[in-house]
Structure 1
């Protein structure tokens, strides 16, 4: 039986990820609902040399358990990586699965839901991207923003704007508040009123700092 590794052009896969990061994720988009790139994190991370790309194979018969383990092992690898850049807030890792078939990309969505708690507990975000992903932009629910030419996970440090993605559950919001709550107090320096609104709504829902 031919292995999936023999069918994957690894160089082309890395090039596809690089092009996606440059032409899509680091670029602006009229449907994003704000000015600036889709992800403002990517360009500084690459400039700081703290963007790592990894390839993993799903094989002929991928299972949810396998994709979940790829995500969890990526968390361990992220924590053990010797990073080139000095700023830990700019560390990011893209883990692409170039042999995962289109009809199996839903496994990334399911695995993401299973592992997000563990990533957030470590101060990290994980996102899933693939051609069928229906995750929408925080400011435009009509725009499916998380599309990618290859199925992949993206891992990075929690950032200020992540209140959009961490206000759904109290333990996620607690991790966010521990890091960024000071920016929303008296004399707040957060200029984006939508961020402030999300933060205040979550704080009202879950109570103030314990």
Structure 2
């Protein structure tokens, strides 16, 4: 049973157009094939099941003039909420998603808040076997099967919270910061080492992790050699 106060109704009335807009985008874009995708099937193969199982949740966040730290704390609260939401069994929960919608942000604020918060919090999500993705009109991230396709462009800026899946490896293996890459790959291996459906991905992650650790060791040796040479 759902009860509303007058204030809640007024807020719902304001938020409803944004919720409808994003739901339509989810149904007409993410859940459908696209000629530029570079593979068969919907843009996001999990979305049709998520719609059918009713496991997508939406929230409208009025973040205008909000400081990044405020938004970080709010997003972390939604992360904790996500973990508590049903379904919680591993097989069903893979289709569970929270979409955080930010309707009032201009391009500069989107870069500062949506992109900035996503980059800042990604390690905290990956460590728990989660992913946090940024969506907005100016997102330049290319598709995995067609570098000219832009699958993360949405009509309104958003952050998406979901569980990590095996096909997320490309988003983790290419981290520019080598320390982050090692942490991401360790989290990926920990999540899938006992239940990987695609052993090739797991092997690739293990190889990439070994190379990253070797690179770290080589950099340490080089640094020590430089210090030794400078001291002579």
State the TM bucket, normalised to the shorter chain.
0.7 to 0.9
Change (3 A) 1:117 1:134: same
Contact 2:87 2:93 in 1 (8 A): no
Answering whether residue 109 of structure 2 is matched by residue 104 of structure 1, we say yes
Structure 2 counterparts to residues 39-58 of structure 1, below 5 A? 39-58=44-63
Q: Please give the TM-score of this superposition, normalised by the length of structure 2.
A: 0.73
Alignment coverage as a number of residue pairs: 195
- Which has more helix, going by share of residues? 2
In structure 2, C-alpha distance between the alignment counterparts of 1:204 and 1:33, rounded to whole Å: 31
Task: State the Cα RMSD in Å.
Answer: 2.7
Instruction: Mark the runs of 5 or more structure 1 residues left unpaired by the alignment.
Output: none
Structure 2 unaligned regions, length at least 5: 1-9, 176-180, 214-232
**C-alpha separation in 2, matches of 1:160 and 1:127:** 16
**C-alpha deviation, 1:153, in angstroms:** 0.6
Higher Cα Rg, which structure:
2
Aligned to 1:190: 198
| In structure 1, distance between residues paired with 2:207 and 2:168 | 14
Runs of 4+ with deviation above 3 angstroms: 181-184, 195-201
**Mapping of 1:98-177 within 5 angstroms?**
98-107=103-112, 108-167=114-173, 168=175, 169-177=181-189
Q: Larger strand proportion, structure 1 or 2?
A: 1
Contact 1:164 1:198 in 2 (8 A): no
The answer to whether the aligner puts 1:12 opposite 2:17 as a matched pair is yes
Compute the TM-score of the two structures, normalised by the length of structure 1: 0.80
Q: Retained in 2: the 8 A contact 1:56–1:70? A: no
Q: Is the Cα–Cα contact under 8 Å of residues 55 and 95 in structure 1 kept in the other structure?
A: yes
